[in-house]
Structure 1
Amino acid sequence: MSATAGSAVPAVEGGAPSRGRSVVAALAVTQTIGYGVLYYAFSVFLAPMARDLRATSAQVAAALTLSVLIAALCAPLVGRWLDARGGRALMTAGSLLGTGAVLAWSRVESLPQLYAAFAAIGVACSMVLYEAAFAVIVSIFAGDERGRANGLLALTVVAGFASSIFLPLTGLLVDRHGWRTALVLLALIYGVAAIPLHAFVVRRRTVTGRAEASAAAEERAGIVEEATRGRPFWLLVIAFTASGGAVAVMAVLLITYLIHLGHSPVLAAALAGLLGVLSVTGRVIITGLRTRLPAALIAAVIFALQGVAAMLLPLIGHTVTGAIGAVLLFGLGFGIASVTLPHLLVERYGTAAYASLAGRIAVFSVSDKALAPLGAVALAQAAGYGWVMGAVSAACAMAAFALLAYHRL
């Protein structure tokens, strides 16, 4: 463990750790609605937007890619803010921006307007979604490893059902009211829930004197500088960037590939729907095993199993049993990064600069989540889906080897 792990931690969000449960509960609500409205709902709007804007599906889908890339670019700045000032003001402002951006999205009449709205949504996502929420929870439970693990698990388990809730809800709203009115209603749902919860439940950092604030800033800068010069940090970057890209590719292309293998669209959609449920299962498993085994080693094994699943899918996926087996094996690792990376960062570097370090990793990992599916589509068109599954398997293997190397340091 690095010497910085024992560094003094700043004052926690809300002061008293007893507030932790209420903050976790509030963030579970805002993350579920936030991911549902700001991310997952987009797929339901894709076809009607393309029709009304007289654009291709690819041109419209580029808006979501732009949003994710902007969120990645904003991550380091957001991380520094969270470490220095806490989450209350940032997440409240992000909720206001997200609500306004979705309302603007409902009024777009051209692709440039759509891209502008999604640029704003990308900034909002960086301020209010997982990376910010994780930083708040890490700060609350700065000295309580068990509380932190349980808080992160509870948050991700609840928010893991965002797509299950908001995809059908959005489809119903679009069917009954049209896509523009549906967006207005979703913006109101998000704003009414997220703005007050972020403003009144997520607390600001305890105010310190100017000298204390300056000393804390110097400490954070020192931790970040030492971390980014060391091999362990970059092994984490490699592991979670490679894993994130592999997961993003499977999330986008799995249904299409299963249909390509000869399965019906209904069965393909049902199998892909298992990924959300399995992501919750994987998070519960890794949180439980972490009391007995090192987190990096557990995650490395699961990433390796995902690589095996991706490699086997072209070989056994033509049968229903084979497809189910491969999807189940891959799905167990679908959501473990969200609970593993915070633990590894805090374990090695402490909590004082957690958000700054997580933000730097997010530049790579979130960007890869946005770009990897585009590369996979191009590879599938040029060489076939078998090569895509090979690339996914290689990425999972890279993630596993990086974490094994990290574990040995």
Structure 2
Amino acid sequence: MNGRGRLFHGWWMVAALSATEVVSWGILYYAFAVFLRPMEEAFGASRAAVSGAFSLGLLLAGIAAVPAGRWVDRHGARGLMTAGSCAATLLVLAWSRVESVAGLYAVWAGLGLTMATVLYEPAFAAITAWFVRHRGRALTVVTLFGGLASFLFLPFTERLVATWGWRTALQGLALVLAGVTIPLHALVLRRRPADLGLGPDGGPPTAPPEAPGEKGAGILLGPALRSREFRRLAAAFMLSAAAVAAVSVHLLSYLAERGLPGAWAASAAGSIGLMQLPGRLLFASFAGRLAPGWTTAGVFLLQTLGLVVLVTVPGLPGIAGFVVLFGMGQGMSTLLRASRIAEVFGLAAYGGISGALALCTTLARTAAPVGVALLYTFLGGYEPVFWLLALAALAAAVYGFTAERPNDTTTRGSRLARR
């Protein structure tokens, strides 16, 4: 509630973005897997050729994240996310009419650009401007709903394809995308609480609350990207993203190499996503109680410990321990990235910095699966490769911890401001 006895508008934005993120992630990201086989048959193309369109979209989404973030910094998320939802709807309709692999690549090049305007980065930027003390709670709510996207939309899309065929299913999903995301983005989102005569968290506009370690308006984009702090954060999140991407692609093969039946291996891999939800809840409960550097290190150490347990503990106990630790760490890292940028750099260029970090992690996710495949061939097996992934996660913890020393926040803020 705000001082006028009404629910703070920031929470209405959280509710709206929770709905739009689950729909956007479900349709623009997860649903592609359901359409993979039907498109192979329709185009007479290989799986690699068809799935390459999705990879192109992800790469372009990472590249577009930087200009999208700068737009949000200057104009707010409302116009960008509304326009992105409109474009995404039209492109999904165009996807339903594609007749060739070349056409599919063209559509997914456009969808990649729209993903940068409607997924987590602009949503996080919108929420961060409205909350300080309750920022962790607000971000947690949105990511909890976003984490349900695969659970809800994979079976839903599968049913649509089985009932209507893949082209009509896409048209139905386009209607869902338009009906949920366009009106909510257009009618609910606002740039900042001052536009409604409020401050962050619903407080008075003349006395905005500050989160521990946060530095007022913040650092501009250029000085932030040139700073040692950004390089360390980028290194931390790139190493973590590389480990996550490598595990997502190679875990089934590694478990098969250890003799685990395929059904068990698939269940273990799927359970990693499920464990992200309690990880995010746990993050929201302890993040504000620890110094930011320790919080960052703790998240990446969970991933490190999970990989060590997987390699060293035999049988199902080791796999179960890995799923819990690595999955929870992966879920926390989404929230960590959103909150850490504000803690280190403030809000002045939050969207642009977030976009630059998203580009870095996209490049890491793109390169890691291929790099691991080459290491597998060179080292002769997966076990030494997974040890290297554990070292990468450990290095991420070190870089993340040193990006802001818990007792050096004032000095760091002054140094950055002078650059």
TM-score, normalising length: structure 2: 0.85
Pairing 1:52–2:19 present? no
Percent same amino acid among aligned pairs? 39
Q: Paired residue for 1:146?
A: 133
Native 8 Å contact 1:149 1:287 kept in 2: yes
Deviation at 1:51, TM superposition (A): 2.1
Deviation at 1:222, TM superposition (A): 6.2
Native 8 Å contact 2:311 2:387 kept in 1: no
Q: Paired residue for 2:154?
A: 167
Pick from 118, 136, 150: which aligns with 2:108? 118
Specify every segment of 5 or more residues in structure 2 that has no aligned partner in the other structure, as ranges. Answer: 1-5, 196-215, 409-419
Question: Any residues of structure 2 matched to 1:228-377 within 5 Å, and which?
Answer: 228-316=225-313, 319-377=315-373
Q: Partners of 1:49 and 1:384 in 2: how far apart?
A: 34
Distance 1:63 1:236, change over 3 A: same
Q: Paired residue for 1:214?
A: none
**Corresponding residue SS for 1:336:** helix
Q: Residue type matched to 1:349 in 2?
A: F
Quick check: 386-395 or 180-189, which moved more? 386-395
Pick from 71, 75, 95: which aligns with 1:85? 75
Q: Partners of 1:347 and 1:168 in 2: how far apart?
A: 38
**Corresponding residue SS for 1:334:** helix
Q: Paired residue for 1:135?
A: 125
Distance 1:257 1:181, change over 3 A: farther
Q: Partners of 1:155 and 1:22 in 2: how far apart?
A: 12
Distance 1:189 1:388, change over 3 A: farther
Pick from 397, 401, 411: which aligns with 1:400? 397
Q: Partners of 1:203 and 1:46 in 2: how far apart?
A: 37
Q: Residue type matched to 2:41 in 1?
A: R
Deviation at 1:406, TM superposition (A): 1.8
Native 8 Å contact 2:275 2:323 kept in 1: no
Q: Partners of 1:390 and 1:47 in 2: how far apart?
A: 34
Q: Residue type matched to 2:359 in 1?
A: V
Say how many residue pairs are matched: 379
Native 8 Å contact 1:60 1:111 kept in 2: yes
Q: Partners of 1:71 and 1:394 in 2: how far apart?
A: 28
Native 8 Å contact 1:302 1:333 kept in 2: yes
Deviation at 1:378, TM superposition (A): 4.5
Q: Partners of 2:91 and 2:377 in 1: how far apart?
A: 34
Deviation at 1:388, TM superposition (A): 3.5
Q: Partners of 1:115 and 1:234 in 2: how far apart?
A: 33
Q: Partners of 1:375 and 1:64 in 2: how far apart?
A: 19
**Corresponding residue SS for 1:361:** helix
Q: Partners of 1:295 and 1:283 in 2: how far apart?
A: 16
Question: Any residues of structure 2 matched to 1:15-34 within 5 Å, and which?
Answer: 18-34=8-24
Distance 1:46 1:316, change over 3 A: farther
Specify every segment of 5 or more residues in structure 1 that has no aligned partner in the other structure, as ranges. Answer: 1-15, 208-218
Q: Residue type matched to 1:68 in 2?
A: L
Native 8 Å contact 2:63 2:359 kept in 1: yes
Pairing 1:202–2:189 present? yes
Deviation at 1:376, TM superposition (A): 2.9
Native 8 Å contact 1:313 1:323 kept in 2: yes
Q: Residue type matched to 2:30 in 1?
A: Y
Distance 1:407 1:363, change over 3 A: same
**Corresponding residue SS for 1:140:** coil
Deviation at 1:81, TM superposition (A): 0.4
Deviation at 1:308, TM superposition (A): 3.1
Deviation at 1:251, TM superposition (A): 2.4
**Corresponding residue SS for 1:352:** coil
